[in-house]
Structure 1
């Protein structure tokens, strides 16, 4: 069958359109998963480990949706002379 055949061209167009739609739906699903996990407090590394997306894609989605990962560290501020606790964040006394 020659490359210029109209039927062959239409079949190729349908296949490419179906692939593009599949990629678009996949991106929407990935965006929803990443957004939900970031809102629950997961970090980029945990999202990458659970979903299996590349870290660049997770960061891109987060930037696109204006969502940032919450920090996962504990700290407390203590007066050195008295030992009095001034402030603590995510830290259980």
Structure 2
């Protein structure tokens, strides 16, 4: 899977290029809810994720509900702030 981590794609949610590694962890310990629809045409995304995740984690991922746009943006901003603090 690490061989796919540096591949990039335009994220329809963020509006810019992101690597697969970001999509795998966009929701903390879960992948982005759209990771399969965005990546499956380019790489075997489902097979990669299933190999990496436990059955329980895969189930949690599959049960995720899409969030409304405002909630998603707030979470993305908070995650970016945390990543910025970690680099300091």
TM exceeds 0.5? no
Is the radius of gyration larger for structure 1 or structure 2? 1
TM-score (norm 2): 0.30
Task: Provide TM-score, normalisation by structure 1.
Answer: 0.29
Greater helix fraction, Structure 1 or Structure 2: 1
